[in-house]
């Protein structure tokens, strides 16, 4: 059996910490809901904004995550919910304790029932390729939403890599809003009435292979396949290839077909995806309620090491009166088109450039 502690990382539970994860709870408020739609406080500190795609992925420069005001933190939570994932560079002062402080602004922090964590901060999981045994059940190339097996799964995740490989090791996110929006209406209607069972089966396999003891119960939970994000009010697909075992109240064959179809959309439709190349001290913050992600397992023989904090969210729900990202994007698209047309007109008529 692996040792319980290695380099200030708790690898396996002992008697005193065998129930840490059983204290996990759900959020009592929705971080980011009701924030300034224009996010004036946040963007006042931003020196550069890079939207990786029109609908998912934004990089912000000029922000120090350890120095956010309460208003900026709320507006950032709203931006993450809208953009799916937001990236930052040069966050060298975001250590484990600051990591915890940032996440705790948005809700109760999740303690993972099996993944190794920081010795002083059990809410901080340690993602170190050196800690993975040779017989590890490899999930690096599997799309998922963090801890969706929990009754109140993750809202936001905050990941920072302090050690990166010389090549490879990117992370890719996919847009659950857009997966939903592009479905035909009959399929949307079908899925909106269904729930699915999300399980800890993958960690049970991992536990059997490694002998590690858990920090609490490995949960299974039922969640709606179409979920409403409480910050944006938009509908998103909420089923993934790692934790979603089956769709309830339909046949095994029907469940398998639907889940495989949804997983194919997530993993193969490039227009739903955004890819991030890590640098030392880079940080990504994403909304698990409306995105999926996967690590790209292409960095051997190099190693990487990062810390992640996961914020527990609300119990997932579906509101049939929810809106969609597609509806909201119509306004954004019109503004983009108007700006492009103005620029084109200015090029054709030099006099407009002086206006």
Burial state string for 61-74 with b = 16 or more CB within 10 A and e = fewer than 16: eebebeebeeebbb
Asked whether 253 and 260 are in contact (CB, 8 A), the reply is: no
Query: 83, 110, 146, 227: which one is catalytic?
Result: 146
Q: Which residues contact 84 (CB under 8 A, 6 or more apart)?
A: 55, 56, 57, 173, 175, 176, 177, 274, 286, 287, 290, 291
Would you call 90 a catalytic residue per the annotation? Answer: no
Query: 110, 117, 198, 293: which one is catalytic?
Result: 293
Would you call 146 a catalytic residue per the annotation? Answer: yes
Query: 117, 227, 289, 308: which one is catalytic?
Result: 308
Longest dimension (CA), the chain: 77
Ramachandran assignment for 113, one of left (phi > 0), alpha (psi -120 to 50 degrees), beta (any other): alpha
Query: 110, 112, 117, 144: which one is catalytic?
Result: 144
Would you call 293 a catalytic residue per the annotation? Answer: yes
- Paired tokens of 72: 């900026």
- Paired tokens of 285: 């913050």
DSSP secondary structure string for all residues of 301-329: TS--EEEEEEEE-PPP---TT-B-HHHHH
Distance CA 150, CA 197 (A): 10
The total of other beta-carbon atoms located within 10 Å of residue 29's CB is 11
Would you call 308 a catalytic residue per the annotation? Answer: yes
Q: What amino acid positions are annotated as catalytic residues?
A: 144, 146, 293, 308
């Amino acid at each position: 059996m692996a040792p319980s502690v290695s380099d200030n990382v708790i690898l396996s539970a002992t008697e005193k910490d065998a129930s840490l994860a059983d204290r996990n709870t759900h959020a009592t408020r929705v971080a980011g809901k009701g924030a300034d739609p224009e996010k004036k406080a946040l963007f006042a500190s931003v020196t550069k904004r890079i939207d990786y795609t029109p609908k998912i992925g934004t990089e912000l420069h000029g922000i120090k995550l350890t120095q956010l005001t309460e208003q900026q933190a709320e507006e950032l939570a709203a931006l993450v919910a809208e953009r799916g994932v937001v990236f930052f560079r040069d966050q060298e002062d975001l250590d484990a304790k600051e990591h915890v402080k940032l996440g705790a602004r948005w809700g109760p922090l999740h303690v993972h029932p099996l993944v190794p964590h920081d010795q002083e901060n059990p809410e901080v999981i340690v993602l170190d390729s050196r800690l993975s045994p040779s017989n590890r059940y490899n999930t690096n190339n599997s799309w998922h939403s963090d801890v969706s097996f929990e009754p109140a799964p993750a809202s936001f995740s905050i990941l920072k890599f302090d050690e990166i490989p010389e090549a490879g090791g990117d992370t890719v996110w996919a847009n659950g809003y857009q997966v939903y929006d592009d479905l035909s209406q009959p399929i949307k209607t079908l899925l909106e009435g269904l729930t699915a069972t999300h399980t800890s089966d993958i960690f049970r396999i991992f536990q059997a292979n490694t002998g590690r003891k858990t920090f609490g119960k490995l949960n299974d939970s039922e969640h709606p396949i179409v979920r409403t994000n409480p910050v944006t009010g938009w509908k998103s697909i909420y089923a993934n290839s790692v934790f979603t075992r089956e769709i309830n109240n339909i046949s095994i064959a029907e469940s398998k077909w639907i889940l495989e179809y949804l997983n194919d959309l997530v993993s193969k439709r490039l227009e739903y995806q955004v890819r991030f190349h890590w640098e030392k001290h880079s940080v990504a913050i994403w909304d698990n309620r409306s995105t999926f992600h996967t690590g790209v397992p292409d960095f051997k023989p190099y190693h990487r090491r990062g810390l992640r904090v996961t914020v527990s969210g609300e119990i997932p729900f579906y509101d049939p009166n929810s809106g969609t990202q597609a509806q909201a994007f119509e306004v954004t698209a019109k503004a983009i088109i108007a700006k492009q047309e103005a620029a084109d007109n200015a090029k054709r008529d030099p006099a407009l450039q002086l206006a």
